Amino acid sequence: MSEFNIQQPATIFTDTQLRDIADQLPTGILAFLQVTKMTDERFEQYGRRFLEICKKHAVQSL
């Protein structure tokens, strides 16, 4: 997050979106875009990094 100079995660995604990401643990772009009020722009700006984290976590959870 420091490379984006962001102090609060809610600056990137809302609390609802962060909960959805944690609950759904999307592992693909289409699944990530199903997160509440996710926009293409927000995904392109920040979502790809979050998606990679979700993928790694999903593999570790198996």
| pLDDT class of 2 with cuts at 50, 70, 90 | low
Instruction: Answer whether 44's CB lies under 8 Å from 53's CB.
Output: no
Q: Residue 7: pLDDT band by 50, 70, 90 thresholds?
A: low
Q: Which amino acid is residue 44, in one-letter code?
A: E
Q: How far apart are the C-alpha atoms of 58 and 50, rounded to whole Å?
A: 12
Structural domain boundaries in the chain: 13-61
pLDDT tens per residue, range 14-48: 999 999 999 999 999 999 999 999 999 999 999 99
The span from the CA of 29 to the CA of 4, in Å, is 21
Q: How much is the CA Rg of the chain, to the nearest whole Å?
A: 11
pTM score of the predicted model: 0.80
Amino acid 11: pLDDT: 80
